Structure 1
Amino acid sequence: MAWYAYCIAEKQAFPELLRHRKPIPMETVSGIAGNQVFLYPASDLAVIVSEHSPEDNLNDRAAVEHARVIADCFKSSTVLPFRFGTVFTDDESLRRSVRSNQRQFLTNIDRLRGKAEMHLKVLLDDCCREQLHAYSLHTHGNPGTGKEYLAQLRENATRQRERQTKARAVSVQMHRMFSPLAEEVSCRRTDSGKMLLDIAHLIDNKCVERYQNKYSSASQIMKDCQMQLSGPWPPYHFVHRLTTRHGNAHHAAPVAQA
């Protein structure tokens, strides 16, 4: 039987597993396509799975259902999310993967126990937008000489450094405001010409309300930014990619997801 995997959890968080060696259903949780979700015992861990058929459509709706199952389990236990689309073709491949990576899984669970992820999106003006627009008007339809081309490359590099400097400054400011245990930051330029910072902060569960209060204060201080907060989430961005693939496990690695 093939198993679709959602996440790894602490076995001790589910006392009903202490009396069972075989998968048992989680009565209140349904998975992708409405499939029954099971607790699959594996040593000191529990793998959250549902039966999988090749006909199951892993579309956008399935991705939402995948995240929902992980969020439900996160209410009861520290979880290590699997990447969307992770399938083990049989019991042996699932057990072998968990057995081979058990030390890493237990280390990550210890490191992330009692912690949650908060996700900030910060939208700010591109500091080089006006210069870029002016340069574009000047060179539109004219590829220029080799000298002009090299000058354009230098200007592009300079603008990129300026963007990185501004993004880094905002990121440092956010770090000082929120003082997270750990953080993951990415930056990209949007189609509208603005810069978008995706910031994941790892915090203690008991500090969620304090974090939300800090967000309210930061929104008032950072007048030149548009900010959006979501969470608490399972710590998607802070799970180390340590899983070794074995047998016929597809995408069998708990990884960070946005």
Structure 2
Amino acid sequence: MTGLRYVYAVCRPFGAPLQAQLTGVAGAPPRQLVHHGLVAVFSEVPASDFAEEPLRAHLEDLDWLTATARAHQGVIDALTVVTTPLPLRLGTVFHDDSGVRTMIEARERVFRRTLERLEGRVEWGVKVYAEVSPEQAQSGTPSAPAVSGQPVSGRDYLRRRSTQARAHENMWQQAEEFAGRLHATLCAHAEDSRLHNPQNATLSGAAGRNVLNAAYLVPRSRSEEFVELVDRTKDESKGGTPGMRVELTGPWAAYSFVEEEQT
């Protein structure tokens, strides 16, 4: 091999084959390097794109970054089907096999401890959005229709605004309470959880205000039960707490539960 080594993840040896025709970053197939009983899954990539200088430049190119992230995630998803991978950061590149082996040796203890803890487990993501109308988003409740030709006193105006502000505050309080109850319920059915910062609606493009953005570590054997629990919550929210939208994603490799141990 003459290219650089782009490493996706570290895992234990696994016997099941990856899906046929799987390609990763730069269109290269993933390969395995076994060292000290651990497996680094990598692709050979050209130095012209992945050496330090060109890689830094590419990371400023949104189209290139999106395509690379999609290819990276595709390999992680394929690994998650057959084993428990510890995903490495996007753009983890080494000059040669020796560099990969050195990385494994330097972090071997952490890798083994984390793999032991996460073996047979996957991550599920749950987001809750409070969906409101444009009028509610602006003032908390639809404005009362104006009466044609009837002036509104300053006192009436202030009273109306005060009422709207209280309604607005109550609406978000109900949303936060719903999200808190859901998180507590899901935590009771998961082995671990992480609360992430709410998503910015402008960046995510998702409708509504994100009031819960959480990840849950769940054994594969209990994943069906966990999904059914979230589905029941979706149905209950329609009747008990209108305006709530619950989104479930996964199963994923346990990204949220390896970061702290790998730093």
Same fold (TM > 0.5): yes
Query: For residues 243 and 116 of structure 1, do their structure 2 counterparts lie closer, same or farther at Cα, with a shift above 3 Å needed?
Result: closer
Corresponding residue for residue 29 of structure 1: 22
Do residues 170 (structure 1) and 179 (structure 2) align?
Answer: yes
Counterparts of 1:3-82 in structure 2, within 5 Å, are 3-11=5-13, 13-14=14-15, 28-56=21-49, 58-82=64-88
Aligned AA for 1:89? Answer: H
Q: Residue 38 of structure 1 contacts residue 48 of structure 1 at CA under 8 Å; is this kept in 2?
A: yes
Q: 2:195 aligns with which of 182, 185, 195?
A: 185
Q: What is the Cα deviation at residue 36 of structure 1?
A: 2.3
1:198 and 2:213 are equivalent in the alignment: yes
Letter aligned with residue 44 of structure 1: G
Greater shift, 51-60 or 97-106, is seen at 51-60
Determine which structure has more spread, i.e. the larger CA radius of gyration: 2
- For residue 30 of structure 1, give the secondary structure of its aligned residue in structure 2: coil
Shift of 1:35: 0.6
Query: Structure 1 residues 100, 121: CA separation in 2 closer, same or farther (over 3 Å shift)?
Result: same
- Superposed displacement of residue 122, structure 1: 1.1
Match of 1:252 in 2: none
Per-residue CA deviation, residues 30-67 of structure 1 (Å, 9 max, x unaligned), is: 21122121101111110000112133465211211111
The number of residues matched between the two structures is: 209
> Are 1:227 and 2:246 matched, yes or no?
yes
Q: Secondary structure at the match of 1:55?
A: helix
Change in CA separation of 1:177 and 1:15 when aligned onto 2, cut-off 3 Å = closer
Higher relative contact order (CA 8 A, sep 6+): 1
Q: Deviations over 1:53-89 (max 9, x none)?
A: 1334652112111111011111221110011111112
Amino acid at match of 1:215: V
Unaligned runs of 5+ in 2: 50-57, 59-63, 142-167
Q: Verify: 1:94 aligned to 2:104, yes or no.
A: no
Q: Percent identity?
A: 23
**Separation (CA, whole Å) in 1 of partners of 2:177 and 2:247:** 18
Does residue 1:208 correspond to 2:226, yes or no?
no
Provide structure 1 residue ranges, at least 5 long, that are not aligned to the other structure: 17-24, 134-158, 245-258
> TM-score, normalising length from structure 2?
0.68
What is the rounded CA distance, in whole Å, between the counterparts of 1:98 and 1:218 in structure 2? Answer: 42
Cα distance, 1:213–1:15 mapped onto 2, change above 3 Å: closer
The 8 Å contact of residues 3 and 52 in structure 1, kept in 2 or not, is answered as yes
State the TM-score, normalizing by the size of structure 1.
0.69
Contact kept? 1:117, 1:235, Cα under 8 Å: yes
Residues 160-182 of structure 1: per-residue CA shift (max 9 Å, x gap): 9x969954761343331462111
Q: Distance in 2 between matches of 1:193 and 1:219?
A: 16
In 1, are the aligned partners of 2:7 and 2:93 still within 8 Å (CA)?
yes
Cα 1:92–1:116 change in 2 (3 A) is same
More helix by share: 2
Task: Judging by fraction of residues, say which structure has more strand.
Answer: 1
1:113-152 counterparts in 2 under 5 A? 113-125=119-131, 129=137
Q: Tell me the equivalent position of 2:165.
A: none
